[in-house]
Structure 1
Amino acid sequence: MHTTKWESGMLDHRTKVGVWEYYGITRSKEQVVVQRYDHSSKQLLYYRPVARMEYNTEVAPGEWRYKVVDQPPMFIGGDAALAVYTTQLQYPQQAQDSNIQGQVTVGFVVDTLGQVSAHRVLRGIGAGCDQEALRVARTIPNEWIPARIGNRAVPTEYELTLSFRLAQP
């Protein structure tokens, strides 16, 4: 049994097998199960619903529209697992020298098989931050659960916001 603050499950030769639980922290600082995922059958068994959000969804080949989905696209392991990658952000020297701070939002498509593609900057701040945000987003592995409408998986655009903040002296 492998257990950390963010996950719990069985390993077989360093590979996750069977049912794993992934944890998050609520606003009231309570630890809760946010996902239960069977790594052997590659099936989502449970997820903690979040506020209903609209996602840019492919409703017909090549036709995209913002829609509320029944199940959002999710990274396996939740936000805590996703943070392993997003915390690898390196502040570009050009942005530091120019005292540029802010948020960059990167969008990418999560297809019906949980594969990602078509990374692009949706909102940028320049000075190398946009390129760094894209670099980090592209390091995130294809471990996504696709969005669903009814019982059908649908391609959606996932938006990931990365913050660039200079340390205060």
Structure 2
Amino acid sequence: MKERLFFIVLLSIAIGVHGQQLKTIRKSNGAFYEEYLALASDTSIKEGRYLKRYRDYVIEQGAFKNNQKYGRWAYFSLDGVFEFEYDYNTHKVIKISTRQTPEEYMETPILFHGSPIIPYLYMVRNIYYPTEAKNKNISGKVVLAININKKGEVTSLYLKEKLHPLLDKEVMKVAKTMPAHWQWIPATYHGQNISGEYLIDIEFELTEGRLR
């Protein structure tokens, strides 16, 4: 009798949650735009389809279930170019772009849990091109390396390619402020997670006085 009563209570709760009305939420933050479904009674809880755009291009697309990413999600880079598809039910990369070139010792490379333009734009938008570097006509590329262990945790940051102390220091300063809640998908080899590094190229262009 107790088992039967327990089952009925669980069923009632499930019907109560999924029977609630949903509301379409639209948010803009600069060049970013989000559109998703949420519970009408509590719009902080996403439930259903989700879409994120950067300017005119879709960069993330999938669905939420009880405010958690659910099922297959597709991620895109600048200009809406496909990067990879990830299944949040099986926690596996389903499909990956040929543009993603893992190292020889990897099957799949390290991936950011989201559009790859998110960490890139964070760096570019927060880095200040030092006036002294401009006055000295210093330009070129700095490559930031983010070490990710097999659990998907950031273990260290360093510069894979340096340019000049003024610019190197600025890149590292901003890198250390990256949000701690960001999640990463570790690299794999023979079906097992392995440690590796995620690289972000930052171009200092003197002619336009900007970053790229």
TM class, shorter-chain normalised?
A: 0.7 to 0.9
Q: How does 1:83-102 map to 2 (within 5 A)?
A: 83-88=120-125, 89-102=127-140
Highest Rg: 1 or 2? 2
Compared CA separation, residues 163 and 16, structure 1 to 2 (3 A): farther
Aligned position for 2:189 = 149
The runs of 5 or more residues in structure 2 that have no matched partner are 1-48
For residue 72 of structure 1, report the CA deviation from its aligned partner. Answer: 0.9
Q: Cα–Cα, structure 1 residues 165 and 70, in superposed 2: closer, same or farther, change >3 Å?
A: same
Give RMSD over aligned pairs: 2.8
1:131 aligns with 2:169: yes
TM norm structure 1: 0.72
Question: Alignment identity in percent?
Answer: 23
Whole-angstrom distance in 1 between the partners of 2:86 and 2:100: 21
Which structure 2 residues correspond to residues 16-27 of structure 1 after superposition, within 5 A? Answer: 17-18=69-70, 19-24=72-77
Paired position in structure 1 for 2:50: 2
Answer whether contact 1:74 1:147 (CA < 8 A) is retained: yes
Q: Which moved more, 1:100-109 or 1:77-86?
A: 77-86
Q: Alpha-carbon deviations, 1:29-72, whole Å to 9, x = none? A: 7x453222345665433322436443xxxxxxxxxxxx431111
Residue segments in structure 1 that go unaligned for 5+ positions in a row = 55-66
- Residues 23, 168 of structure 1: CA spacing in aligned structure 2 closer, same or farther, 3 A cutoff? closer
Is the CA contact (8 Å cut-off) linking 1:72 and 1:147 kept in structure 2?
Answer: yes
Aligned residues: 152
Q: Distance in 1 between matches of 2:115 and 2:200?
A: 13
Higher relative contact order (CA 8 A, sep 6+): 1
TM-score (norm 2): 0.59
Query: Is the 2:60–2:115 contact (alpha carbons within 8 Å) kept by the matching residues of 1?
Result: no
The secondary structure found in structure 2 opposite 1:45 is: strand
Q: Which residue of 1 aligns with 2:82?
A: 33
Question: Residue type matched to 1:75 in 2?
Answer: F
1 or 2, which has the higher helix percentage? 2
